[in-house]
């Protein structure tokens, strides 16, 4: 699977000024969190996903595979919200007896879990729009222009790089194990997984040190500098962007006060 940086670097929206993309994707997150509405969350999710696929040029299959990562965490996290415990069985949609009480799913818990899941996926789609269209170096440059402290930017860039370094190391180790039939059977799979987990930190730390040495060889002096694009960044219509945000805000207000959706 390609990393997010590969998608961001090859995106059709790569040359759009990062500030416009942040203005496009960040306000809807606040609206989704404020409005407790599944249709509004679906609207934001559809808008951001369509922007990533149709405007950014990301293949739908790749985008869906990346969505499976947060979806797996959401399924386990929101499932726990839907369950409740009570001594009255009639309050559950379905339940199982545990001693003198019952554990099951209530209608209120199920509704809350559904709302949380859709809110989270809509928020993830907004962040994915930024991640799939904006390389992290461009984000660092934008944060610097906004006056964010250099130390914070540097830590953000290094953590981002080392997270993917950890992912790449785990992927290479798993590929090497599979080439030696390391996952041919349940017992062998558990042993291979234990070996991967025990060695992952050691190899990742060694590769991180190699990356740091490479940075020093290229003149790293405590601050990460990135080159700005040689050609001017594309700036879409600011008025159109504000109009879109106002339309979304109007829908959010109408939905929140029960006038819509």
In tens, the pLDDT along 95-123 reads 788 777 888 888 888 888 888 889 999 99
| pTM of the predicted model over 0.85 | no
Task: Give the pLDDT of residue 229.
Answer: 62
On whether both 162 and 176 belong to a single domain, the answer is yes
**Cβ proximity of 216 and 1 under 8 Å:** no
On whether both 99 and 204 belong to a single domain, the answer is no
Residue numbers of the domain that contains 165: 149-226
On whether both 127 and 254 belong to a single domain, the answer is yes
Helix (H, G, I), strand (E, B) or coil at 229: coil
On whether both 33 and 121 belong to a single domain, the answer is yes
What pLDDT tens digit does each residue of the chain (261 aa) get? 567 778 888 888 888 888 888 889 999 999 999 888 889 999 999 999 999 999 988 999 999 988 988 888 888 777 778 888 877 777 777 778 877 788 888 888 888 888 888 999 999 999 999 989 988 878 877 777 777 787 888 888 888 877 777 878 888 888 888 888 888 888 888 888 888 888 887 887 887 788 888 888 887 777 777 666 656 677 788 898 899 999 999 999 988 887 665
Task: Give the pLDDT of residue 231.
Answer: 60
On whether both 47 and 130 belong to a single domain, the answer is yes
On whether both 194 and 243 belong to a single domain, the answer is no
On whether both 12 and 100 belong to a single domain, the answer is yes
Task: Give the pLDDT of residue 79.
Answer: 79
Domain count, the chain: 2
Spatial CA neighbour of 195 closest among 212, 182, 179:
182
On whether both 83 and 43 belong to a single domain, the answer is yes
Task: Give the pLDDT of residue 122.
Answer: 93
**Cross-sheet strand order for the sheet of 94-98:** 83-86, 101-105, 94-98
On whether both 239 and 113 belong to a single domain, the answer is yes
Spatial CA neighbour of 56 closest among 5, 127, 7, 124:
7
On whether both 44 and 140 belong to a single domain, the answer is yes
With the C-alpha atoms ordered 135, 141, 145, 149, is the resulting torsion angle positive or negative?
A: positive
Could you say which DSSP state residue 227 is in?
P
On whether both 239 and 175 belong to a single domain, the answer is no
């Amino acid at each position: 699977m390609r990393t997010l940086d590969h998608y961001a670097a090859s995106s059709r929206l790569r040359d759009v000024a990062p500030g416009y993309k942040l203005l496009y994707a960040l306000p809807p997150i606040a609206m989704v969190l404020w409005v407790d509405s599944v249709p509004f969350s679906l609207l934001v999710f559809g808008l951001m996903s369509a922007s990533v696929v149709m405007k950014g040029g990301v293949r739908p299959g790749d985008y869906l595979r990346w969505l499976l990562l947060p979806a797996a965490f959401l399924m386990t996290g929101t499932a726990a919200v839907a369950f409740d415990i009570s001594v009255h069985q009639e309050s559950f949609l379905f339940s199982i007896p545990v001693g003198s009480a019952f554990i099951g799913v209530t209608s209120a818990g199920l509704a809350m879990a559904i709302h949380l899941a859709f809110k989270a996926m809509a928020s993830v789609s907004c962040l994915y729009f930024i991640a799939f269209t904006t390389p992290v170096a461009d984000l660092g440059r934008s944060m610097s222009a906004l006056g964010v402290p250099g130390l914070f930017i540097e830590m953000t860039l290094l953590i981002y790089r080392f997270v993917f370094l950890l992912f790449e190391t785990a992927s290479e180790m798993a590929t090497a194990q599979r080439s030696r039939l390391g996952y041919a059977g349940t017992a062998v799979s558990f042993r291979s997984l234990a070996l991967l987990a025990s060695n992952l930190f050691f190899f990742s730390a060694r590769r991180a040190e190699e990356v740091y040495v490479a940075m020093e060889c290229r003149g790293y002096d405590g601050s990460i500098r990135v080159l700005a694009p040689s050609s001017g960044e594309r700036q879409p219509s600011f008025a159109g962007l504000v109009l879109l945000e106002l339309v979304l805000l109007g829908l959010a207000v109408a939905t929140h006060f029960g006038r819509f959706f």
